Chains A and B, each alone.
Chain A
Amino acid sequence: MNLPESFRIALRALAANKARSLLTMLGVIIGVAAVILLVGIGTGVQDEVTGSLEGLGSNLLFVVPGQYEGGMGGGGAPPGRRFTLDDAETIARRVEGASAVVPVLQAGATIKAGNRSMRVVVAAGNEQGTEVFTSDLAGGRHYRRGEVQAASRVVALGDRVARELFPNQDPLGKQVTLNGQRFTVIGYYKSLGGGLGGDQDSQVYIPITTAQRLFNLNYVSTIVVKAADADEIEVVRRDIRRALLPSFGDEFTVFSQEQTLGILSDLLGTLTYMLAGIAGISLLVGGIGIMNIMLVSVSERTREIGIRKAVGARTYDILSQFVIEAVALSVLGGVFGIVLGWGGAELIAQTTPVPTNVTPWAVAMSFLFAFAVGVFFGVYPAWKASQLDPIVALRYE
């Protein structure tokens, strides 16, 4: 007997028990849909985070105080000494390949305009900040060099902040207060989109000098350095080390964009695998359901097996018939699961801020896994069926 023949017999048997076949498939359907959905969410989040970081440009270096080894291990010693604006200037002066050096400080604050107020993250830099951060002005301007030097109270608003404080109004030239101090709005930005990147829409941007006064700090958290030429980034990194060595020794770390991305990617990748693993367990449970039903089916159809053997079915014929039945259940369940998971992922992407990305890789993996589950859990019942003695099977009531 050939394979198409086995397929026809198997599909006919499944069609004869539609309700049971469907319920058995449900385990696999849910499992595969869960794998696709969860991996889709994981990948979507990963893409969005790395994508928004990539928007910063690939020729950036992040200088932070303290020692960090490679990854995210707990080995990071607390910074002994923080950077100041002077350190940023040292780098700007002594590193030739740097086209922009931006000291950065971030802190939370309350912004008020009239009777409206909200919590925002204040992001502060210098006039070169526009060179290292993606920003698209919707109106107005960035703060200028003179305003940084003078520590002027000027602020540019993220999209969400502008809309919350000044609904249906032009915020330019309006007065706001940050932690009680008065600022003039000089610009506002276009939305950077929803999802996790939406954070940037809730930020406000002020000069670093102003921020130090506002929060009464004398340090900066990070110094961002942009290399004039992306190919020279290692030279720039070496020069930064050389510039800071006299005052900091080894007590600082220079991350490149790639390293930062790598760390985040690793973390989110691990998370995605974990989600896939959890969903995979439900797929495994679905497989056990298939085995259970196949065992029931074999004992129910003992007489049928006896008849088939009497008229000439060999061990292989019976084995393949039942394995194909189990695989057909799991593969059909897999296909339905893919449709369901993919549809669900699209729905989530459309209706919630959670980004999803169903990759061909995830689809192929979950399909293959479903197939393997069918084979694995189908073989034992099929083997049992194929070993039946035709005499005993024919007598079976």
Chain B
Amino acid sequence: MGDTGLARVVLETRDVSKCYYLDGVEVNALRSVDLEIRQGEMVAIMGPSGSGKSTLMHIVGLLDRPSSGEVILEGQDVSSLAPNELASLRNRHIGFVFQAFNLLSRTSALANVELPLVYGGVGGSERSRRAREALERVGLANRLGHFPSQLSGGQQQRVAIARALVNDPSIVLADEPTGNLDSRSGIEVMAVLQELNEQGITVVLVTHDDRVARHAERAVHMFDGRVSEDGPVADRIMAADEMALLPPEGATG
């Protein structure tokens, strides 16, 4: 799926700006951002804090609306939709993976993964079948009934990835997915994301970490609310190779 030139555009921002007021001070978080994300891509959005990458992620993830410009999702202009319409679009088209996992506590892995289906109106046996499948895809078929507190950080993040996948979204949006993980778990999670991308899923990675960003095929650098650089990653890291170099599990503390 590396041939990005021919794949169709899943999401596009056209001249998107976002400005908001923080304690009465005008902040131009985004200035005229043009970005295309194509089907099957793995894109990293990079930048230091304050660069506008979080704001861009909120807009790409349909959590926020631009002050000006257009956001086109699957050919539809979504930049001026009401919050409830955005919620429905998020439900169908976006899968979120957060730094802090954001699973519901006291709720089983299976029920967590079912959550988007609950709001998508999928019920009964189909719901649990699809949730099981998603958990199998991230290698947690044997952890269905576990609560988040009974899972390691890496496992929790994989449950979150399964939740992001379960609705067959157009884009899986991962915001610092390895930020709260030790390096081994982080590599495992990146391996899962790369593997899913190999299977054709569009992944957008938001990170400030250059090493994490190099797991993507293409990197978009943000600076001062603008796209400063947008191009293929030169020396891409494959998480599977990293795994091979790690000492066997159990040898580490």
Contact = CB atoms under 8 A, between A and B. Distances in A.
Contacts of B123: 2, 5
Interface stretch (B114-122, B132-140, B226-234, B236-244): B114-122
A308 B121 contact: no
Interface residues of A, number: 22
Interface string B57-89: 010010110000000000000000001100110
A19 interface: no
B84 A315 contact: yes
Contacts of A311: 90-91, 96, 115-116, 119, 163
B63 A390 contact: yes
Contacts of A308: 115, 119
Contacts, number: 58
Interface string B95-127: 010100011101100000001101111010000
A309 B119 CA distance: 9
Contact of A1 (B83, B84, B119): B119
A304 interface: yes
B87 A312 contact: yes
Contacts of A196: none
Contacts of A133: none
A303 interface: yes
Contacts of B121: 1-2
B119 A315 contact: no
A391 B87 CA distance: 12
A310 B104 contact: no
Given A16-B106, A310-B90, A316-B84, A391 B58 contact: yes
Given A303-B102, A391-B58, A314 B64 contact: no
Contacts of A310: 61, 63, 90, 96, 102
Interface in A305-328: 306-317
Most B-side CB within 10 Å, residue of A5, A311, A316: A311
- A interface majority secondary structure: helix
Contacts of B96: 310-311
Contacts of B106: 16
Interface residues of B, number: 27
Contact of B64 (A304, A313, A391): A391
B90 A317 contact: no
Nearest to A397: B100
A16 B83 CA distance: 30
A394 B98 contact: yes
A314 B87 CA distance: 6
A304 B101 CA distance: 12
A304 B118 contact: no
B191 to A, nearest CB: 24
A300 to B, nearest CB: 11
B119 A312 contact: yes
Interface string B39-72: 0000000000000000000100101100000000
B104 to A, nearest CB: 6
Given A1-B121, A307-B102, A315 B83 contact: yes
B118 A1 contact: yes
A5 B64 contact: no
Interface in A378-397: 390-391, 394
Nearest to A1: B119
Contacts of B92: 312
A259 B115 CA distance: 66
A312 B63 CA distance: 10
B116 A312 contact: yes
Contact of A313 (B63, B98, B119): B119
6 contacts: A304-B104, A307-B103, A312-B91, A313-B87, A314-B119, A315-B84
Interface of A: 1-2, 5, 12, 16, 303-304, 306-317, 390-391, 394
The 10 closest A-B pairs by CB, nearest first: A312-B91, A312-B119, A311-B116, A314-B84, A314-B87, A307-B102, A313-B119, A16-B106, A310-B96, A391-B63
